[in-house]
Amino acid sequence: MREGGFHGFSFREIAADVGIKSASVHHHFPTKEDLAAAAARAYADRHMAALGDPDDPERAPADLIPLYVDLFRRALVEDRRMCLCGVLATEASALPPGVNAEARAFFERNLAWLESVVARAAPGARPRDIEAQALRIAAMLEGAMLVAHSLGDIDAFETAVLELSETLSLGSAKME
Amino acid sequence: MREGGFHGFSFREIAADVGIKSASVHHHFPTKEDLAAAAARAYADRHMAALGDPDDPERAPADLIPLYVDLFRRALVEDRRMCLCGVLATEASALPPGVNAEARAFFERNLAWLESVVARAAPGARPRDIEAQALRIAAMLEGAMLVAHSLGDIDAFETAVLELSETLSLGSAKME
DNA sequence: ACCTGAACACCGTTCAAGT
DNA sequence: ACCTGAACACCGTTCAAGT
């Protein structure tokens, strides 16, 4: 699913991997929508668990953005794959509603996490600017993964993302 | 294809639209790889033609980045769709080689165009920094489209991309 | 509760046959 | 050169039948 998207895998493949018949898979996940939504939800849960509490006073906000970048980097470098919800995002308009909802929830949870971190890093910033900065970070990471994945060039990810890890809140507080 | 990716459309659909049988489509495009590669190439050609010459002395580099941003904005707003090659990029590892090659070529052509514009805007910049800036612009636009498309919120694209149109070469010349 | 084989309408692809 | 119907192995889904 992370490689071929919603239509890039089949019930019969999964059944063969698990050692049952495809009709049996439908007993656990009645439709492909159910199965893909569950996979997206599990992916998002693991992703958010790896990020941890954005308001943890033990962790400086200046360390949390590099940690965020690193989570995406590892997904791309170690798995040599896109972000699952990034793949689903591009297919949004052709996805069953339940799958689309889980992909959207992934981004909403990511943005909420980033907004918490950016707010801590730039205490005086306006809510509007905090939201904008969170959106830019999430968009840059998904875009950097996407382009690097297409070019087959992991360095492209590093290059695109370098600015983010270096200068955390480039304009979050001082934006006009 | 822009909605469901490589597996999101069928020869039989296309045949019905055109008024022939699906076997006849194979006469023009022997395989789905041929058809999708041709579509990606045509998309990239139209895209690059809309951008025009990045070195045209009649057009200031400061005007060309907003023009670039606007091309992606219109794709998202008017068509309510992702960039075709952005969709294909996320499916890269599951794509037939010929399709993958055309998607990659789209990004290479975009990066070359952006590098020309950035080089004109920051004449003293090092090649390494010019490439990095071009990569960031392309990644930010694809990522902003992807996130906005998943959220179903076009304003998210505008917000993420605002910084790009405002301050063209934020760090292209002064990057360390 | 969990699994299965068989059937349904779909899919890309091939091919012999038509004009 | 362009089209077609028929066949192939695939796909998601359903369902009656098994344990």
Query: Looking at beta carbons, which residues of chain A come within 8 Å of B13?
Result: none
Cβ–Cβ under 8 Å, residues A146 and A166:
no
Interchain pair A146, B156: CB under 8 A: no
Q: Which of B69, B77, B93, B147 to mutate to test binding with chain A, by most A CBs within 10 Å of its CB? A: B147
- Other Cβ atoms less than 10 A from the Cβ of B171: the count is 18
Task: Compare CB distances from B93 to A81, A86, A147 and report the shortest one's residue.
Answer: A81
At what angle are helices B97-121 and B32-51 packed, to 10 degrees? 10
DSSP letters for chain A: -TTT-TTSS-HHHHHHHHTS-HHHHHHHSSSHHHHHHHHHHHHHHHHHHHH--TT-TTS-HHHHHHHHHHHHHHHHHHS----HHHHHHHTGGGS-HHHHHHHHHHHHHHHHHHHHHHHHHSTT--HHHHHHHHHHHHHHHHHHHHHHHHHT-HHHHHHHHHHHHHSTTTTTTT--
pLDDT value for B163: 87
* Residue whose CA lies closest to nucleotide D3 C1': B24
- Domain limits of chain A? 44-170
Interchain pair B147, A135: CB under 8 A: yes
Per-residue pLDDT of chain A (176 residues; tens, 9 = 90+): 999 999 999 999 999 999 999 999 999 999 999 999 999 999 999 999 999 999 999 999 999 999 999 999 999 999 999 999 999 999 999 999 999 999 999 999 999 999 999 999 999 999 999 999 999 999 999 999 999 999 999 999 999 999 887 765 444 444 43
The model's pLDDT over B86-142, given as tens digits with 9 standing for 90+, comes to: 999 999 999 999 999 999 999 999 999 999 999 999 999 999 999 999 999 999 999
C-alpha–C-alpha distance, residues A43 and A24, integer Å? 23
Residues 6+ apart with CB under 8 A from A152: B92, B104
Residue B171 has pLDDT above 50, yes or no: no
Interface membership of B165 toward A (CB under 8 Å): no
pLDDT value for A171: 43
Interchain pair B151, A86: CB under 8 A: no
pLDDT value for B168: 53
Of A5, A10, A37, A40, the closest CA to residue A25 belongs to A10
Q: What is the DSSP letter of B172?
A: T
Interface membership of A112 toward B (CB under 8 Å): no
pLDDT value for B165: 74
Interface membership of A10 toward B (CB under 8 Å): no
Cβ–Cβ under 8 Å, residues A2 and A82:
yes
pLDDT value for A164: 85
**Assigned token pair, A52:** 């941890």
pLDDT value for A168: 53
The model's pLDDT over B13-47, given as tens digits with 9 standing for 90+, comes to: 999 999 999 999 999 999 999 999 999 999 999 99
The model's pLDDT over B65-83, given as tens digits with 9 standing for 90+, comes to: 999 999 999 999 999 999 9
On whether the pTM is more than 0.85, the answer is yes
Distances (CA, A) of A173 to A116, B101, B163: 14, 42, 14
Interchain pair B104, A131: CB under 8 A: no
Distance D14 C1' – B152 CA (angstroms): 33
Task: Mention the CATH class of domain B44-170.
Answer: mainly alpha
Task: Find how far residue B137's CA is from the centre of its chain.
Answer: 11
pLDDT value for B169: 44
Interface membership of B143 toward A (CB under 8 Å): yes
Cβ–Cβ under 8 Å, residues A90 and B86:
yes
